[in-house]
Each structure stands twice: as C-alpha cells, then as structure tokens.
C-alpha cells in the first residue's frame, strides 16, 4: 500500500511537470524560490511561477515568435539568445520631453472640446518654448544638461543602484504605447550602451535633478500640476470659456489626461525607477494651489499683459454670472441686480492680468462671478434665517391670490436645489471612491523588486474581484461627455432631470418701485464684522466665523463651492473682498448707491443668526 501511494505521488508530480512544461513552452526548470515546476507565460512573453508568482527577469532562453496554434492551445518554441539591454531600456530621453508629450495630449483633449485651434500652436507651444528657454533646458547656448552635470548625475545614480531600497507600493508606474509623433526637446535618439545602462537608475537621463529640492526650487523645474497651470494660462490668453474650475472638473472626470498620463509616452521612452516619483499622480491639485502655480509660472516666464477680457467675452462676469444663475436654477431677473452690483464694484469694464506688476493678481473669474450672485441674493433676501422665509410666505400668498402668478419663492427653490445637491454629492463621492489611481502596468525600480510588485498586483486584483462578487456592487456608469454644468433643470414638458426649472419666475414679490427705480423690499444689508489678521499675510477667517453666520448663507456658500469644486472659505473670502470694494466705492460715489442706507455688521455672538436653520 505504501509503495502504491509513493508511486501515485510520483506519477502526479511527473504529470504536473509535463503539463506545466507544455504550458510554459517546454521550460521545466525548478523555481529558485519555492522549488516548484509550474511555469506560465504572461502576455508580455515573461515566464512566471504559478505557485509563488516569481518572475524570471534574465534568462538565456527567449521565446521565439514562431508559434503553433492548435485549437485553443499554444505551443511556443524556445531558442537560445541574449537580450540586448538597450532594447529593454529604450533610447535616451529627458524629463522635459516626457512633460512635452503630456502637454501635447492635454492640448489635443481641449481641442476636442471645442477650444480654438490657435490655442495649441500659437499660445501653448509658445509658452512651452519660453519655459524651456527660461529654465535653460532648450533653446539656449548654456543648457543645464552639460557634460559635467551629466557625469555627476550618473555618478550619484550609480552609488544608489546597488544599495538596498525598500520595495515600493503598487502605485509605481510604467510607460505604455502611443503614436509617438511628437519630437523630443533636446533629447538624444541613440541607444544606451552597456556601461550607461548599468549606471542609470531611471529611464530618463536627468531624473536625479528633478528629485533634488534645490534644483526644483532654483530651476523652476516642471511638475504635473504645472502642466495644468500652463494650460490654464494658455486658456486665459486665448480668452476661452473654460475656467479653472472647469479645467479641474474635466481632469477629475478623465476627459483631460493627468492621472496616468505617462501611458501616452511612446514605447521607446521607458519609465524606470526614479521617473515614477516625477510622473506619479496620487491626487488632483486644488483650485487654490493651481491658481498659485499659474501666477508663479506667469511671473517666471515674464509674460506681457494678457489680452483684456471685454464684456462680450465669456470669461467676463457679465456673461459668466448668466451661466452660474442657470446652473443654480435662479431667476433670470436676478441678473439685472448682479449687473448693478458689478457696476459699483468696478468690474463692468475690461479686465486684464499683468504678471510683471506686483499688485496685479491673477483674476479668479469663476469665484468672482459666484460672489456677485451671493451678494445679490443677500441684497434681495438678506439671508439672515428670518427675512428670506418671510418673503417666501409673502410670495406664496401672492401666488394663491393670483392663479397665474409666477413669483419666485426661495423656500421652493431651496427644496428643489437641496434635493439635487444631495444626489449630486453622493454621485461624486461614489465616483471618487471608484476612481482608479494606479496604472494597468506597474513600474518597478529595480530587477529584484519586480517579482514582489507583480505578485502584489495579482493578489490585489484577485481580492478586488472576490470582493466585487461578494458585495455585488453596481458597475461604474459609462463616462458622460464633458460638460460645464453639474445640474440639468427640466423645462415645461420635460422629465427625468434634476428638478423643475425656475428661470422663468419673477422677483415681483421681493422688489418694489421707489422713486422711479426698483428697490428691494428688504430694508437692510448685513455683513460679517471685520477681523484682524494675526499674521502679515491675510488668511481666511471662515473657519472661525462659520458658526456665527446664518445657516442659509452658509448653505449658499456650500452650493457654489460644490459647483466650482472649491472650499466654502474661498467663496466666502471673495464675497468679503467684493463687499469691501462695494462699500468703498459707494462712499466715493454716493449717487451710485443701489442698496438701502441701513446696514449693520453681524456680531459674533448674535443669537438671532446662530439659532436658526434653513430647514423650512
């Protein structure tokens, strides 16, 4: 019986070796890690152990291209040969060349959305050439990539190649194929020699200088957020209707390459090791950070004054507020009051940006337009958690007395928009949770770490599939076409949208005629009490003032912060800035006053504002 059992075990062992040898194309060597003989061939032609997921990086066997297809099985013949190191590493290339490919595909994505063709060739390309020249990476007689620097960078890399480095996570990236029709910016096209390959710890030649904080700070080297900042500057110069909030929304939805944008690199540009730190993206930059990057980049390039944004341009507040009124489902008549406020604030004329002037900030067109609408809402409805609801009751009574009445009710508007806002917020959170930040093909920093990373990758994918089957989670919806609007309000006879449209309603129940001009029924206008800054640089006080503000006003800030993808404090600061500007200009021009003369500053301990909620 014992002999039979031993014979059975040996038979199974020999059978498994034969089967695995056939599946691996006749390769039947013993795995150096687990001692098993269970090889498989991946789609890339690599041999890996099916038992321990060990991947053979360097062997003398090479899979031949001659294959025999019999039914559903594939038999590959093995031929002897040594692979060339240059073919694996690709050609020499610089990091700026990789950013050039990313900018190229970002510009093509914007062109597909309807941006003017001159945006790419006449504006963005010129800005990119100016950057390469200013940073001394190209178009200069004294480039930073001279011989001494290259020898030093290779020596520093060589010292770190043999050192033991911790195994990185699976978020390391690798390049994928693309058309590869863009030309490199000052990059060599020759193959790497054996000595150069052995001393390089990255696919690019100058990755080490991008990893040095001093080099990044002194040379203003490019980064992934700066590619979006450069696109934003080019859009502003071209006076396109895509705001900074739109640009970030398109990036988040995947319409503009940013996350895993390195996959557009051509096949000969290999990403390896330290390149992953440069091109890896683990988050999308915020609105404030990208605005600051664009301002700094414009000063570094020494750009001349931008073309003026005239009132007929879609970026001007006079037209941009129309778009946000439609987005927020507010009456069209509110735009007249927005224009009055815009006149007093001095925003009705042409607007421009002069980078070389220290007191010429980069305009926040989108947040500025939202702040104008909020000030108009405060002017008409006060938004102190009392007056707006009294005006809503008065509007409801007028609509009851007149069956054909079409007066705007803030209570009905709040309930309609709040329902759509809750659904949109939940959908956004679900899409963020399902977003894939990792690439399809991982990038490994060294040969010894490749098998561990691939094993982690396969285990993670298997666990993900298992959890999806157990949880029965719904599949991700199909990607929607790019749109600048978050909500879709239904008109007459339309269904299946976020709610009924209120654009056609009037403000007759909220205004009255006094002295031949329309004036709000609300007799007062409140504004937060000024707060002293403890530092030299003015900071936001929204966090400490939020508890003392009326709840309806806070909800309105949250609404526009969701529409713009910014923090409520950014909108609040812009509202305060415009209010100070309006009060200052009103004192200089008393005849241009559109608000009643009564105004009070809200006190931090005012119980009338903090005790109410907008749940009516």
Tens-place pLDDT, residues 263-318 = 888 888 877 777 878 888 888 999 999 999 999 999 999 999 999 999 999 999 99
The distance in angstroms from the start CA to the end CA of the chain is 85
Are residues 515 and 597 located together in one domain of the fold?
yes
Per-residue pLDDT, 7 = 52
Task: Indicate the residue among 51, 83, 115 that finishes a domain.
Answer: 83
Per-residue pLDDT, 375 = 96
- The pair of structure tokens assigned to 465 is 């599939």
Rounded to whole angstroms, the Cα distance separating 40 from 24 reads: 5
Are residues 348 and 260 located together in one domain of the fold?
no
Place of tokens 């590493």: 89
- What is the tally of structural domains in the chain? 3
Quote the domain boundaries for residue 225: 91-303
Per-residue pLDDT, 243 = 95
Rounded to whole angstroms, the Cα distance separating 266 from 182 reads: 9
Per-residue pLDDT, 609 = 40
Task: Indicate the residue among 83, 105, 126 that finishes a domain.
Answer: 83
The DSSP output letter for 494 is: -
Q: Is residue 477 part of a domain?
A: no
Are residues 280 and 171 located together in one domain of the fold?
yes
Q: Is residue 372 part of a domain?
A: yes
Q: Is residue 223 part of a domain?
A: yes
Are residues 142 and 269 located together in one domain of the fold?
yes
Per-residue pLDDT, 594 = 46
Of 296, 401, 312, 307, nearest in space to 356 by CA: 296
Are residues 45 and 98 located together in one domain of the fold?
no
Task: Indicate the residue among 31, 56, 83 that finishes a domain.
Answer: 83
- The pair of structure tokens assigned to 219 is 């040379």
Per-residue pLDDT, 137 = 83
Are residues 210 and 278 located together in one domain of the fold?
yes
Are residues 119 and 103 located together in one domain of the fold?
yes
The DSSP output letter for 123 is: I
Are residues 245 and 103 located together in one domain of the fold?
yes
Rounded to whole angstroms, the Cα distance separating 337 from 525 reads: 14
Per-residue pLDDT, 318 = 94
Q: How far is CA 232 from the centre of its chain?
A: 12
Q: Is residue 194 part of a domain?
A: yes
Per-residue pLDDT, 55 = 74
Q: Coil, strand, or helix at residue 464?
A: helix
In angstroms, the Cα distances linking 311 to 239, 322, 357, 358, 445 are 12, 12, 23, 25, 53
- Answer for the pair 334, 327: CB distance below 8 angstroms, yes or no: no
Q: Is residue 191 part of a domain?
A: yes
Per-residue pLDDT, 13 = 53
- Answer for the pair 173, 442: CB distance below 8 angstroms, yes or no: yes
Q: Coil, strand, or helix at residue 11?
A: helix
Are residues 32 and 74 located together in one domain of the fold?
yes
Q: Is residue 8 part of a domain?
A: no
β-sheet bridge partners, residue 91: 191
Q: Is residue 546 part of a domain?
A: yes
Q: Coil, strand, or helix at residue 563?
A: helix
Are residues 259 and 378 located together in one domain of the fold?
no
Rounded to whole angstroms, the Cα distance separating 448 from 441 reads: 17
Are residues 414 and 340 located together in one domain of the fold?
yes
- Which parts of 74-187 fold into alpha helices (H)? 85-89, 95-112, 118, 125-134, 147-161
Of 238, 338, 240, 243, nearest in space to 565 by CA: 243
Of 371, 329, 331, 325, nearest in space to 347 by CA: 371
Class of residue 307 by CB neighbours under 10 A (exposed 0-12, middle 13-18, buried 19+):
middle
* Residue segments in the chain with a per-residue pLDDT below the cut of 50: 14-15, 17-23, 58-87, 147-200, 592-616
Are residues 245 and 377 located together in one domain of the fold?
no
Q: Is residue 120 part of a domain?
A: yes
């Amino acid at each position: 019986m014992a002999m039979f059992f031993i014979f059975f075990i040996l038979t199974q062992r020999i059978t498994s070796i034969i089967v695995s040898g056939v599946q691996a194309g006749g390769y039947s060597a013993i795995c150096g890690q687990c001692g098993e003989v269970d090889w498989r061939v991946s789609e890339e032609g690599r041999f890996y152990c099916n038992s321990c997921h060990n991947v053979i990086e360097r062997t003398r066997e090479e899979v031949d291209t001659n294959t025999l297809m019999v039914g559903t099985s594939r038999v590959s013949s093995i031929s002897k040969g040594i692979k060339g190191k240059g073919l694996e590493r690709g050609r020499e290339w610089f990091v700026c060349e990789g950013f050039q490919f990313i900018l190229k595909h970002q510009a093509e994505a914007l062109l597909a959305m309807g941006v003017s063709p001159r945006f790419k060739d006449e504006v963005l390309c010129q800005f990119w050439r100016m950057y390469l020249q200013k940073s001394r990476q190209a178009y200069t007689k004294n480039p930073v990539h001279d011989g001494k620097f290259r020898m030093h960078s290779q020596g520093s890399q060589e010292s770190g190649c043999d050192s033991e480095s911790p195994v990185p996570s699976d978020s390391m990236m690798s390049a994928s194929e693309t058309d590869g029709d863009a030309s490199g910016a000052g990059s060599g096209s020759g193959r790497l020699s054996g000595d150069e390959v052995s001393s390089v710890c990255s696919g690019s030649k100058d990755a080490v200088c991008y990893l040095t904080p001093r080099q990044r700070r002194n040379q203003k080297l490019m980064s992934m957020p700066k590619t979006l900042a450069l696109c934003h500057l080019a859009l502003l110069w071209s006076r396109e209707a895509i705001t900074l909030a739109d640009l970030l929304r398109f990036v988040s939805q995947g319409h503009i390459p940013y996350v895993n944008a390195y996959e557009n690199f051509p096949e000969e540009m290999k990403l390896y090791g330290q390149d992953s730190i440069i091109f890896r993206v683990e988050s999308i930059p915020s609105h404030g950070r990208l605005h600051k990057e664009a301002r700094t980049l414009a000063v570094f390039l020494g750009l001349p004054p931008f073309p003026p944004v005239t009132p007929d341009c879609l970026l001007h507040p006079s037209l941009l507020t129309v778009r946000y009124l439609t987005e927020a489902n507010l009456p069209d008549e509110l735009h007249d009051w927005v224009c009055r406020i815009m006149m007093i604030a001095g925003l009705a004329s042409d607007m421009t940006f002069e980078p070389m002037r220290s007191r010429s900030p980069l305009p926040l067109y989108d947040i500025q337009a939202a702040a104008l609408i909020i000030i108009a809402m405060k002017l008409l409805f006060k938004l102190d958690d009392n007056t707006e609801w009294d005006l809503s009751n008065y509007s409801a009574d007028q609509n009851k007395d007149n069956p054909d009445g079409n007066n705007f009710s803030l209570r009905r508007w709040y309930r309609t928009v709040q329902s759509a806002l809750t659904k949109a917020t939940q959908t956004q959170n679900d899409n963020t949770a399902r977003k894939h930040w990792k690439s399809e093909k991982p990038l490994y920093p060294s040969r010894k770490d490749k098998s561990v990373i691939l094993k982690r990758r396969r285990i993670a994918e298997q666990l993900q599939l298992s959890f999806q089957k157990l949880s029965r989670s719904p599949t991700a919806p199909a990607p929607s076409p790019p749109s600048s609007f978050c909500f879709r309000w239904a008109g007459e006879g339309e269904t299946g949208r976020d709610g009924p449209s209120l654009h056609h309603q009037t403000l007759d129940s909220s205004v009255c005629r006094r002295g031949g001009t329309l004036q709000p029924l609300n007799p007062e206008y409140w504004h937060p009490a000024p707060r002293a800054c403890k530092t030299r640089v003015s900071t936001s006080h929204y966090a400490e003032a939020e508890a003392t503000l009326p709840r309806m006003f806070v909800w309105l800030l949250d609404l526009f912060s969701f529409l713009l993808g910014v923090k409520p404090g950014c909108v609040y600061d812009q509202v305060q800035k415009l209010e100070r500007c309006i009060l200052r200009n009103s004192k200089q021009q008393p005849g241009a006053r559109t608000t009643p003369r009564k105004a009070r500053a809200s006190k931090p301990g005012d119980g009338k504002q903090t005790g109410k909620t907008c749940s009516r």
